[in-house]
Amino acid sequence: MDTDTTVLDLEPVRPLIESYRSGEKTIIELMLDIQGVYNYLPREVVEFVAEEAGVPISILYSLATFYSAISLTPRGRNHIRCCIGTACVVRGSQFVLENLKRELGIESGEVTEDGAFSLEEVHCLGACALGPIITRGEKFYGHVTKSRVREIINTLRRADQECA
C-alpha cells in the first residue's frame, strides 16, 4: 500500500513528456528519464504521464512491470542489486547479502532513511562467471567478498554525500 502522502513536484516531468510527444523519445526512454528524476515511477506520476502523453495507463503499467530497469516502488539514489542465483550462491552470495543488509541497515526491498540506498535481491544478472555479483545502476562489481562490501558501500556513500 502506498502510504506516502508527500505531494510530488510534477514540473520536471513536463519537458520530458514534451520530448515524447515530439517523437524525440520513445515511451520507454520517457519512463526511464522520469525514473531518473524520482529514482522510481510514483503512481501519481504514471497517472500524470498517461493523461498528458495520451498513453493508456494500462500500457504504462505493463511496460513498468515488464522492464526490470523500471521500478514502481521507491528506490534509493544508489539502488544495489545482489544476485542470489545458484551460481552466485555457491560462491557465497548469501554472506555478501547479509553484509549488505548489515552495512546499509535495511532489508531487501527497503530504502535507507536518508534515501541514499535501496537493496534488491535478484536471481541471475547474466554474469555468473563473475559471481558473487552486485550492481549499482549499470556498474557491476564481480567476485565480491564479505569484506569488500564495506569498501564498496563506503565509496558509494562518500560519492553520494559529495553530490548532496
For ligand FES, the closer of residues 55 and 133 by Cβ is 133
Long-range contacts of 65-73 (CB under 8 A, 24+ apart): 67/28, 67/31, 68/122, 69/32, 70/28, 70/31, 70/32, 70/35, 70/41, 71/35, 71/39, 71/40, 71/41, 72/40, 72/41, 72/43, 72/46, 73/40, 73/109
Least distance from ligand FES to the Cβ atom of residue 156, Å: 20
Check: CB of residue 64 under 8 Å from CB of residue 104: no
Q: Which is nearer to ligand FES, 63 or 128 (CB)?
A: 128
Applying CB under 6 A, which residues contact ligand FES? 83, 85-88, 124-125, 127-128, 131, 133
Q: Which is nearer to ligand FES, 110 or 121 (CB)?
A: 121
Q: Find the shortest distance in angstroms from Cβ 128 to ligand FES.
A: 4
Measured CA to CA, the distance from residue 109 to residue 74 in angstroms comes to: 9
In the complex, the smallest distance separating the C-beta of residue 143 from ligand FES, rounded to whole angstroms, is 11
CB of 86 to ligand FES, least distance (A): 6
Q: Point out the residue whose Cβ comes nearest to ligand FES.
A: 85
